[in-house]
Chains A and B, each alone.
Chain A
Amino acid sequence: MDSSRFQKLSDNAWQIKPFGAMRVPAIIYASESLLAEMDDKVFEQVTNVAMLPGIVQASYAMPDAHWGYGFPIGGVAAFDPAAGGVVSAGGVGFDVSCGVRTHLTSLTREEVVSVQEELADALYAHVPVGVGSEGAITLDEPDMIAMLNGGAKWAVEQGFGLAEDLDRIEEHGCVEGADPAAVSDHAKGRQRREMGTLGSGNHYLEVQTVERIFDHATAAAFGLERDKCVVTIHCGSRGLGHQIGTEFLREMAVSAAEHGIVLPDRELACAPINSELGRRYLGAMRAAINCALANREIIGHLTRQVFARFFINGELPLMFDVSHNTCKLETHEVDDQARKLFVHRKGATRAFGPGAPGLPAAFARHGQPVLIGGSMGAGSYVLAGTTESEARAFSSACHGAGRRMSRHEATRAWGGRQVVDDLRARGIIIRSPSMRGVAEEAPGAYKDVEAVVDCAEAAGLAKKVAFLAPLICIKG
């Protein structure tokens, strides 16, 4: 994008003043080079979001922003129900509560490398991955309702996970206000045999080593030690969330005019928070969040089972579990007033700073962990929420590197086998059902994750804590 279209607020923040039907400004957090790399659709989409009723303060885009559906991926916007604010199925996306969790280990890099191939095979065999895979759990209707109400808490009650995990998950593993009755039979049907499955596309399970530490005090509080290994899992609410997104997007798009809403893009489908449709979507979307939290908890349990077969000291305490595609009711300071707002984060992470209410005690001094997934080869980062982030974008940060190349372009540039061999030569073992899928997810198809997190830190969205280098990647 051409930076002359923006008012420069700082080296890492760019504002678009309201024009046309925009109700608030749009602000993109990016370095000059990241801004130049962003496609023009981000400009269009972040300004479209600024036109929605009841939006508060500004429409934001994170440093990894790229073209999404309606909202940009990396988009953040908050809405006030008292000001006619809306909830948008397009602002949450199809993969509701897609997110990342990181488990700690006491294992050194050498211990994992000594069984690297065998461990990769065992994880690939034990964790259901890829299209059409099924979990070992089949949910009947009462189980489904209990899972949609209970989230990770339900999973722990069923024996999949540990009670102490719950304090290390956003909302303590269970978001309130879920309404299983608002979830269609189609959505429930898709999920009946998908609990504990990873999915495909950019979802993964990685064994990583803590290669660099930037903030020793915060890393220690998070339990991160240099040269120790961690396990990171990226997946979401599977078929249930996809179906809820599909159904409500259509219903909200078709009925927007009845609610007096002019949609600048049908993909911004939304309804007033204080409407029957808005309340029904919130109930279904919260049920999907619980589904995602339960799903990641079960995959964590399956991963623990594999590690217990390989290592005597194979416990995997959970460091933290964060969600990326959500709309959550939160209290934020706006013009020195505390206001209850519905904050949409689409491809963005909540990044509560030190002292934020509701944070687990372990994070109260340092802010919450913000887990940034990179590509298979580039590695990942652990950041921490900052106090300044509240004023920047309702305590939000980026979520990943962001694609710089389409899947089609990636398959023309690389072959899957070539990617697997190149990564093996660098000590990274890949397991995946699809070589084409691997090519589409090639490291070169993503932006430079280091540039993204450097910008997030410079912009005050979050601070860098540690860098995680991959050793094993199970791709869906």
Chain B
Amino acid sequence: MGVRGFGATPAEAFAQTALAMCAAIVDPAGVRLEQAIDIEQQAQSLDLLLLDWLNALVYEMAARRMIFAAFDVSIVGERLRARAFGEKISRDRHAPAVEVKGATFTELAVCEDRPGLWRAQCVIDV
């Protein structure tokens, strides 16, 4: 399943890609923003940073039994600092459709399609 986010900056595009990934699991409109989790990542390139960002979210959701639906992301150079907001996942209330196993290198790209329009994308394994 492919996920793609757009934004005026890489950080905005990263936040939108994360939202797309979580939307593959549940309807984000039904997620309460009750808990915040801080995430920090650093990588040698923006595309690897996107991979690490999405996989960090996959790990936090799995280990904490959480689902996220909002993201505050900042990227300086190749360092990402972010806060993900969400709540404990409920089988009855959220009716999660799939489990994301991991973000992949397939179709992995972070690029500025035109000035001020960044695209961040990859295929996730579900």
A interface with B by C-beta (< 8 Å): 69-70, 93-95, 130-134, 186, 189-190, 199-201, 239, 242-243, 245-246, 249-250, 253-254, 265-267, 269, 406-408, 433-437, 440, 476
Contact = CB atoms under 8 A, between A and B. Distances in A.
Across chains A and B, which 3 residue pairs bring their CB atoms closest together, nearest first? Answer: A131-B96, A132-B89, A266-B105
A130 B96 contact: yes
B101 A245 contact: yes
Contacts of A269: 105
B80 to A, nearest CB: 15
A434 B98 CA distance: 8
Contacts of A70: 105-106
Nearest to A134: B65
A69 B62 contact: no
B120 interface: no
A170 B30 CA distance: 43
A245 B90 CA distance: 26
Nearest to B44: A254
B91 A130 contact: yes
A200 B58 contact: no
B123 interface: yes
27 contacts: A94-B101, A94-B125, A131-B96, A131-B98, A131-B99, A132-B88, A132-B91, A186-B59, A200-B96, A200-B97, A200-B99, A201-B126, A239-B63, A242-B62, A245-B102, A246-B55, A246-B58, A246-B102, A246-B103, A250-B55, A254-B44, A267-B104, A267-B105, A407-B126, A433-B92, A433-B95, A436-B97
B97 A440 contact: yes
Contacts of A433: 91-92, 95-96
A132 B55 contact: no
A190 B63 contact: yes
A189 B125 CA distance: 20
Nearest to A243: B59
Nearest to A190: B62
B25 interface: yes
B1 interface: yes
B51 interface: yes
Given A94-B125, A242-B102, A407-B1, A133 B91 contact: yes
Contacts of B92: 433
Nearest to A98: B101
Contacts of A133: 91
Nearest to A247: B55
Contacts of A200: 96-99
Interface string B61-97: 0110101000000000000000000001111100111
Interface of B: 1, 25, 44, 48, 51-52, 55, 58-59, 62-63, 65, 67, 88-92, 95-99, 101-106, 108, 123, 125-126
A258 to B, nearest CB: 14
* Residue from the set A95, A246, A269, A407 with the largest chain B CB neighbour count within 10 Å: A246
Contacts of A437: 95-98
A434 B106 contact: no
Contacts of B126: 201, 407
A75 to B, nearest CB: 14
B125 A69 contact: yes
Contacts of A406: 1
A456 B126 CA distance: 27
A254 B102 CA distance: 17
B54 to A, nearest CB: 10
B102 A239 contact: no
* Residue from the set B55, B59, B95, B102 with the largest chain A CB neighbour count within 10 Å: B102
Nearest to B126: A201
Given A94-B102, A201-B98, 18 more contacts: A69-B105, A94-B104, A95-B101, A131-B89, A132-B96, A189-B63, A190-B63, A201-B99, A242-B58, A242-B101, A242-B102, A249-B104, A253-B105, A265-B105, A267-B104, A267-B106, A407-B98, A408-B1
A242 B126 CA distance: 10
A440 B98 contact: yes
A249 B97 contact: no
Nearest to A433: B91
B33 to A, nearest CB: 17
A415 to B, nearest CB: 13
B3 to A, nearest CB: 11
A254 to B, nearest CB: 8
Contacts of B91: 130-133, 433
* Residue from the set A70, A189, A242, A408 with the largest chain B CB neighbour count within 10 Å: A242
